[in-house]
Amino acid sequence: MAVQPITLTEKEHDEFVKTHDRGDLLQLSSWANVKRQNGWFAERIAVATDGVTSGVALLLFKRVPKLPFTLCYAPRGFVVDYDDVASLTALTEEAKRVAKVNKAITVKIDPNIDRDEVPGLLTEMASLGFSHKGYGGGFDYAQPRFTMETDLCPSEKEIFGKFHHKFRYNVRLAERKGIVCTEVGRDGLKTFADLMKVTGERDGFAIRGLDYFENLYDCLQPGDARLFLTKLEPKLALDQQMATLEKAERDLGKIERSLETETIEKKRTSLLNRQKQTGEQIEKIKATLPELNELHDKYPNGLVLSGGLLTLAGRRSYYLYGASSNEFRDFMPNHLMQWTMMQAAKASGAERYDFGGVSGSTDADDEYAGLYAFKSGWGSDMIEKVGEFDLVLNRPLYFALETGLPLVKGLRKRLRR
């Protein structure tokens, strides 16, 4: 079989990425446009076997400060069948060629491959000149080595049934409290950025600004970036509760009329139990009405509580960013938002929903235990990726960068999403 370098259009490149098992959002040509805002530039490479595309890669380049050199990074690349040695070899040679033209010190890749998925992979990559960067913790690398993913292939009922029982309860609680989650357009990004500022201040992390989210959203159009906002709608909850109350009162009336004429003891016992349960339901509903009326008076037009950015790449979907206000957090708007975005991702054809990184530890004392607890409650699996590989092109400078720890940490941070 003849494997040759080829040139693809952006559309052809993206179609290959979106339909390939190794494809990922970060390998779409549009991701290069996202990163360009932060000083990256990109090259696309591809190879074909007997005229049929068999591997592609998006190579991102970042200039090293104060030096005429670059770092080359293929995030979640290469997109190729790693059992196809001929295509992998040809793609590696193309990456080396393009990287040398751009004076890259190294070519870094972190394939979308589970740790033990391809037997002998480390040996194969070493034969091509790559060095493996080890099996460190989830956040020791440019991209998380451990991620949490939910399988979207089953029915919605089956997916929901795999959630932790508390998460199912929280989704339903949010609905009862009058929380609604809807997809909004680009004009909702200002609200989302404001929520992100609140989230950053509350949780103590640096945030992206509105310009970043506008650029990301625009670059991933049409359809690969979708924004969802959750909103407290007290009128909706009030109407639902009143309808439920009216039905319960009608049911109670029927039960009481039946009790007046029923003489069989067994049936009377059943009616009495139903009378008690329905009476308790009525009292519970009535207890919620003062709060809902108060909220309706205070927020007649509703109140936005949280937002999330869902991104798509063919069969894969990603919860990329989320933000929430400090108000009504006990109404569980984020739980309803996650379920709504999963449903939207599934409807778009996605088979996996990626919650992003975790540390890799399930220990309750782990620094990121709370993150794992939230991301694991959605019927999700912890996926361990194989990790990073470096193909060194300038060994003295590579060694200098690797040993210059403060600089390396700064560069690594810039590699992340």
Q: Which residues of the chain have pLDDT under 70?
A: 405-417
Q: What's the confidence (pLDDT) of residue 349? A: 97
**CATH fold group of domain 147-233+302-383:** Aminopeptidase (3.40.630)
Return the pLDDT at 54.
98
Rounded CA-CA distance 398/71 in Å is: 10
Secondary structure in 3-state letters for 324-365: ECCCCHHHCHHHHHHHHHHHHHHHCCCCEEEEEEECCCCCCC
CA–CA separation, 258 and 267 (whole Å): 10
| Cβ-based neighbours of 341, under 8 Å, separated by 6 or more | 181, 226, 228, 308, 310, 317, 319, 353
Query: What pLDDT does residue 237 have?
Result: 86
With contact defined as beta carbons under 8 Å apart, do 377 and 166 qualify? yes
> Can you name the residues that pair with 214 across neighbouring β-strands?
none
* HSE toward the beta carbon, residue 120, CA cutoff 13 A: 7
Separation CA 314–CA 296 (nearest Å): 41
* Domain boundaries defined on the chain: 3-138+386-415, 147-233+302-383, 236-295
Which pLDDT belongs to residue 117? 95
Distance CA 326, CA 167 (A): 20
Cβ-based neighbours of 276, under 8 Å, separated by 6 or more? none
Q: Is the dihedral of CA 19, 21, 23, 25 positive or negative?
A: positive
Cβ atoms of 353 and 375 closer than 8 Å: no
Quick one: pLDDT at residue 407? 54
pLDDT at 411: 57
Q: How far apart (Å, rounded) are the C-alpha atoms in residues 169 and 340?
A: 15
In the block, which residue shows the tokens 């979207």? 152
State the pTM of this model.
0.89
pLDDT digits (tens, 9 = 90+) for 388-417: 999 999 999 999 888 875 555 555 555 555
As a whole number, the mean pLDDT across the chain is 94
Write the pLDDT tens digit of every residue in 361-387: 999 999 999 999 999 999 999 999 999
Burial class (CB in 10 A: 0-12, 13-18, 19+), 287: exposed
**pLDDT computed for residue 138 by the predictor:** 76
* CATH code given to domain 3-138+386-415: 3.40.630.30
CA dihedral angle for residue 244, residue 245, residue 250, residue 253, rounded to 10 degrees: 140
Tokens of 279: 């009476």
